[in-house]
C-alpha cells in the first residue's frame, strides 16, 4: 500500500516534470522518471541539473515531491507504528504506548498533525536563516526562493540543490553549513526521538530507542568528521586548499551529510579511496527509523555492533543502558542487513555487466541510492538505461523497503509444524 502510494506520486511527478512549462531544455521520459523518483525518495541523485534544466515551476514541483515524499513517509511511519501498536500484536506496542501515549484514532490524527507542524516550523526557520546568505549573493527573489527550496530539501534530507556542484560554493559559509546541517540532522534522527526529547527533556527518562539514536548519531558524526578531516586534510582536490577553520567546517559537514542528507561542499569525486569507503559505509547505515533517512538505520547498526561485543564477551544477551535486547531484535537485524547487502551487491553486479567505469565508483553510487543519500562520484550520469532503471529501483527500495518489511514482520505467521531442533557447525 505504501509502495503503491509512492509509485503513484512518482508517476504524477514524472508527468508534471515532463510538461514544457517545467523545463528549459528537452527531457526524456526516463530522465523525468528518474528525477521524480529521486525527489519522492528524497535521494538527490540527478541526471538533469535542477538549477538550470528546470524552470521555477519545475523546481516547485520537485520541492513538493520532496516534501510529500519525505514528510509523507515520516508521518506514515509514525501512524503505521502507532496503528500497529494499537491493533496488531507487535512487540513494540508497549513501547509505543509509553512513548507516544497513543491509544485511539483521535490521537493518531493529532500525532500526524504534530509531525507536520514541527516540520513546517523547522523548515520556515531554516528558510529565514538561509535567506541572508542567499539574497546577498543572488538578489532578493532568487535568493528567497533558494532559501525556501534548500530549507525543504535539507529538512527532508533530499540533497537536491539548485547548483550543479551542490553547496561547494558555500564551503566556508558558517550560516549555510550550520543551518543546513542542523536541519538534516533533526530530520534524519526520526520523529519518535524528537517527540521523546520534547516530552521528557531529561536524558535519564528518555526511551532506550532515543538514547541509542542520540549516542549512535554522535559517535557516527564524530567518526565521519575525524576520518574525513584526517584523510583529506592535505588533499588538493578536497580540503587541501582551504583555511584551517574551513577545513574543520567542511569535514564536519561532509562527515554528517553521508548519513542521508546528500549535500556536499567538497568534490566527492576528489575524495581519496579510503575516505570514499568510509562514506559508503556511512551511507549504508543511514539515519534513524521513522525519519526522512534511508539505509539500514542507526539502531540496526548499533544492534550489529552490540552483537559483536556480546559475542566477544561470550554472552547471548545484548545489554545497553540497563536494558536487554531480545533475540528477536538480533533476528530482525540480521535479516534486514542480509537483505540490504543482497540488494546492494546484486545491483552492483547487474549494472557492472554493461557499465565500463570503475566498479568501486559504481558501488558508491548504489550505496548512495540505497541510503537515499544522493552523493555521487559522477557515475550516475554515465549509466545506460538499464543502469538508471536499477538505480531508480534501489532508491525506491531504500525508501519504502524497510518500512514494508517491518510491516511484514509485524503480521508474523506462527509455523504450524514444529520440527525438532538441529545443530550445525558454524565458522
Q: Mask of contacts with a second copy, 335-364, x by CB under 8 A?
A: xxxxx--x--x--xxx-xx----xxx----
Pick between residue 159 and residue 224 the one whose CB is nearest to K ion. Answer: 159
Please report the DSSP string for 4-40 in residue order.
HHHHHHHHHHHHHHHSGGGBSS---HHHHHHHHHHHH
With binding defined as CB under 8 A, does residue 1 bind a second copy?
Answer: no
- By three-state DSSP, how is residue 319 classified? strand
Residue 100: its H or E element: helix 93-100
CA distance 33 to 41: 12
Pick between residue 37 and residue 361 the one whose CB is nearest to a second copy. Answer: 361
**Beta carbon of residue 350, minimum distance to a second copy (angstroms, whole number):** 8
- The partner in contact with residue 204, picked from K ion, a second copy, none with C-beta cut-offs of 5 to 8 angstroms by kind, is none
Q: Near a second copy by CB under 8 A, which window of 156-164, 197-205, 252-260, 293-301?
A: 293-301
CA distance 103 to 107: 7
Picking from 153, 157, 156, the residue whose alpha carbon sits closest to that of residue 134 is 153
- The partner in contact with residue 327, picked from a second copy, K ion, none with C-beta cut-offs of 5 to 8 angstroms by kind, is a second copy
Pick between residue 36 and residue 307 the one whose CB is nearest to a second copy. Answer: 307
DSSP 8-state secondary structure symbol assigned to residue 390: H
Residues 216-275 that bind K ion (CB under 5 A): 262
Q: Which of 72, 262, 374, 406 binds a second copy (CB under 8 A)?
A: 406
Residues 209-228 that bind a second copy (CB under 8 A): 209, 212
Are 17 and 27 in contact, with CB atoms under 8 Å apart? yes
* Residue carrying C-alpha cell 539514536: 213
For the CA atoms of 8, 13, 16, 18, what is the dihedral angle to 10 degrees? -110
Pick between residue 125 and residue 277 the one whose CB is nearest to a second copy. Answer: 277
Are 259 and 282 in contact, with CB atoms under 8 Å apart? yes
**Beta carbon of residue 420, minimum distance to a second copy (angstroms, whole number):** 6
CA distance 370 to 286: 9
Q: Which of 108, 208, 248, 393 binds a second copy (CB under 8 A)?
A: 208
Q: How is residue 359 written as a grid cell? A: 566498479
Residues 294-313 that bind a second copy (CB under 8 A): 296-297, 299-300, 302-305, 307-308, 310-313
Residues 345-374 that bind K ion (CB under 5 A): 373-374
Q: Measured in whole angstroms, how far is the alpha carbon of residue 67 from the centre of its chain?
A: 14
Instruction: Enumerate residues 6+ apart whose C-beta is below 8 A from 195.
Output: 99, 100, 114
**Beta carbon of residue 270, minimum distance to a second copy (angstroms, whole number):** 15
CA atoms within a 13 Å half-sphere pointing along the CA-CB vector of 351: 31
Q: Which of 13, 44, 69, 72 binds K ion (CB under 5 A)?
A: 44
Q: Which of 27, 40, 192, 239 binds a second copy (CB under 8 A)?
A: 192
Residues 49-108 that bind a second copy (CB under 8 A): 81, 91-92, 94-95
**Beta carbon of residue 365, minimum distance to a second copy (angstroms, whole number):** 14
Residues in contact with K ion by CB under 5 A are 44, 157, 159, 262, 373-374
Amino acid at each position: 500500500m505504501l509502495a503503491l502510494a509512492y509509485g503513484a506520486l512518482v508517476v504524477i511527478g514524472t508527468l508534471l516534470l515532463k510538461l514544457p512549462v517545467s523545463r528549459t531544455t528537452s527531457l526524456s521520459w526516463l530522465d523525468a522518471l528518474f528525477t521524480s523518483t529521486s525527489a519522492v525518495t528524497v535521494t538527490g541523485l540527478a541526471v538533469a541539473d535542477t538549477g538550470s534544466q528546470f524552470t521555477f515551476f519545475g523546481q516547485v514541483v520537485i520541492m513538493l515531491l520532496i516534501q510529500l515524499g519525505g514528510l509523507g513517509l515520516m508521518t506514515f511511519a509514525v501512524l503505521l507504528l502507532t496503528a500497529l501498536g494499537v491493533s496488531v500484536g507487535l512487540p513494540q506496542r508497549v513501547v509505543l504506548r509509553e512513548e507516544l501515549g497513543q491509544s485511539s484514532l483521535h490521537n493518531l490524527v493529532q500525532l500526524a498533525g504534530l509531525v507536520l507542524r514541527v516540520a513546517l516550523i523547522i523548515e520556515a526557520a531554516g528558510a529565514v536563516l538561509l535567506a541572508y546568505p542567499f539574497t546577498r549573493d543572488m538578489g532578493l527573489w532568487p535568493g528567497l526562493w533558494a532559501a525556501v527550496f534548500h530549507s525543504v530539501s535539507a529538512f527532508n534530507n533530499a540533497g537536491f540543490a539548485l547548483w550543479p556542484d551542490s553547496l561547494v560554493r558555500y564551503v566556508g559559509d558558517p550560516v549555510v553549513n550550520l543551518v543546513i546541517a542542523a536541519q538534516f540532522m533533526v530530520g534524519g534522527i526520526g520523529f519518535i526521538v524528537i517527540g521523546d526529547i520534547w516530552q521528557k527533556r531529561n536524558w535519564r527518562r528518555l526511551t532506550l530507542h532515543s538514547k541509542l539514536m542520540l549516542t549512535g548519531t554522535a559517535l557516527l558524526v564524530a567518526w565521519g568528521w575525524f576520518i574525513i578531516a584526517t584523510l583529506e586534510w592535505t588533499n588538493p582536490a578536497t580540503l587541501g586548499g582551504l583555511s584551517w577553520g574551513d577545513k574543520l567546517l567542511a569535514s564536519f559537514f561532509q562527515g554528517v551529510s553521508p548519513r542521508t542528507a546528500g549535500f556536499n561542499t567538497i568534490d566527492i569525486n576528489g575524495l581519496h579511496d579510503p575516505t570514499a569507503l568510509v562514506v559508503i559505509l556511512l551511507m549504508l547505515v543511514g539515519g534513524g527509523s521513522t525519519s526522512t533517512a534511508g539505509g539500514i538505520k542507526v539502531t540496526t547498526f548499533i544492534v550489529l555492533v552490540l552483537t559483536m561485543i556480546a559475542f566477544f564477551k561470550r554472552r547471548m544477551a545484548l545489554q545497553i543502558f540497563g536494558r536487554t535486547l531480545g533475540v528477536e531484535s538480533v533476528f530482525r537485524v540480521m535479516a534486514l542487513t542480509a537483505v540490504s547487502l543482497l540488494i546492494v551487491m546484486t545491483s552492483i553486479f547487474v549494472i557492472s555487466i554493461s557499465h565500463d567505469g570503475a566498479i568501486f565508483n559504481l558501488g558508491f553510487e548504489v550505496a548512495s541510492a540505497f541510503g537515499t543519500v544522493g552523493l555521487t562520484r559522477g557515475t550516475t550520469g554515465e549509466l545506460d538505461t538499464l543502469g538508471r532503471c536499477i538505480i531508480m529501483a534501489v532508491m525506491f527500495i531504500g525508501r519504502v523497503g524497510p518500512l514494508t518489511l517491518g510491516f511484514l514482520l509485524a503480521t508474523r505467521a506462527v509455523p504450524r509444524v514444529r520440527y525438532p531442533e538441529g545443530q550445525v557447525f558454524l565458522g
